Amino acid sequence: MKIALVKRRYSLRRGGSERYCVNLARRLTAVGHQVSVIGEAIDVDLADEVNFIPVAVNRLTSWTANRSFAENSGRAARAGKFDVVYGLGRAFGLDAVRVTERLQPHWVRVNYRPAWWSRIQRWNPRHRTLIELERRIYNSDSVRRIVTQSQLDRRLVREYYGVPEEKIRTIYNGVDLSTFHPGVRQHRDDVRKWWRIPLRAPLLLFASMDFAGKGLGAILRAMSRLQNSDARLLVLGSGPIPRFERIAEKLGIHKRVHFAGRQNRIERCYGAADLFLLPTAYEPFPNVNLEAMACGTPVVTTTSSGCADVIRDGETGYFVSGVDAADEITDRIERHLHLPPAEAAAMSSRCWETAKKLPIERNVEQTLAVFKEVLIEKGTGPFFGPSSTSLPEVLDPKNGPVPVTTDGDRSIFRSDVDEESDDKAEKRTSPPGRERAA
């Protein structure tokens, strides 16, 4: 199959969505597909591994950059005569699109408070442009499938853009289990020594470039209220470090907070931490949560994170109500740090067991199933003609061919004794309004 992935940056040095694009391209290539990437930039050391089709971007303003990328990548996609064009962001000329970035109208709603300020922000040229791009893309007849990463975004796509249910598929993120696994915990002491963190001190971890939107302000306030004054916080990411260093100093905790910037071996940091913190205002499905769990590290996050689908409160992580819920974050940290060692170890094991159910290979298989649905509807492609009607099967090495489901089945994360109702699960993943982090 001749596949084009559309993503502005093909990189392992940026965020989770960029890493996902690289991993997807590599695995599609490994199983025999011809993969091209249409984008604005590529890491130099990755240039030889994929056919990269560069597009020009008008960087005069943020909104001109987003619009010009969408338009120019669409032209490149049409010129390439691909079997399937899959967008990992906002672009035209797509056959299917993955909701990778935050849905813009919902982000404006939860990130700008009070409500009157949110309404004003919708007139901001950048927000207006992104909302209009999303509206055109998701309602385009040529975009035959919209892939969401969570039940949360599945609902939001319908609510904000009126997308029919039959057009949506939910495919959870996948994690590279060869990189992220409990074995990285052997580097615990090395990481702590490098950052001069006492070996027995509880270590909390935060990783993001969006310090405010992912709740670092509330985390710092929570740190200042902890009864355990030995606890340390390691902050990864190239966000506005000086600003948050000043906040930490004002709170009197600057000696217990380590700003490490961007780190290439993030899995070792996951393995060294006792708890991973990401109380985001809203996120489709932050893969850092899944990576941390794969390394055996429980997660504190919000119900407005799509990753809430795969976290079991009190068993593989903890929920807080919003990005500014400092008191709740303090409570969840204290609760976790007071667990008996055997219970903490059991929680770590459950995190790994959950992450094992979501390998990147599973994500790729389900993505290919969506591509084949697209080919069936188009009546083209190397595998399916106009007469094909059934969904394809994926070969399970142990059990033979099995049908692929793409509805984001959350039952795989429930224990045999879990009697949680679907109504309760829906309520848990429904996001109330959120205050912006300080």
What is the secondary structure of 91-119 as a DSSP string? Answer: -SS-SEEE--SPPHHHHHHHHS-SHHHHH
**pLDDT value at position 407?**
63
Q: What's the rounded Cα separation, in Å, for the pair 23 and 323?
A: 30
* Residue 263 pLDDT grade (very low, low, confident, very high; cuts 50, 70, 90): confident
CB 117 within 8 A of CB 253: no
Mean pLDDT of 47-61: 95
Reduced to 3 states, what is the DSSP secondary structure of residue 357?
Answer: coil
- pLDDT 10s digits, 358-380: 999 999 999 999 999 999 999 87
pLDDT band at 16 (very low <50, low <70, confident <90, very high): confident
Look at residue 436 in the predicted model and tell me its pLDDT. 35
DSSP secondary structure letter of residue 199:
T
Instruction: Return the SS3 of 308.
Output: helix
What is the chain's Cα-based Rg? 22
216 has pLDDT over 90: yes
379-432 tens-digit pLDDT: 875 554 433 333 444 333 333 333 444 565 554 554 433 333 333 333 333 333
| Model pTM above 0.85 | no
Rounded to an integer, what distance in angstroms lies between the CA atom of residue 213 and that of residue 216? 8
Q: Residue 408 in 3-state DSSP?
A: coil
In whole numbers, what is the pLDDT of the chain averaged over residues? 87
Q: Two tokens at 119?
A: 């309404």
DSSP structure class, residue 392: P
Domains of the chain: 2-174+359-403 (3.40.50.2000), 182-356 (3.40.50.2000)
Note whether 297 and 273 are within 8 A (CB): yes
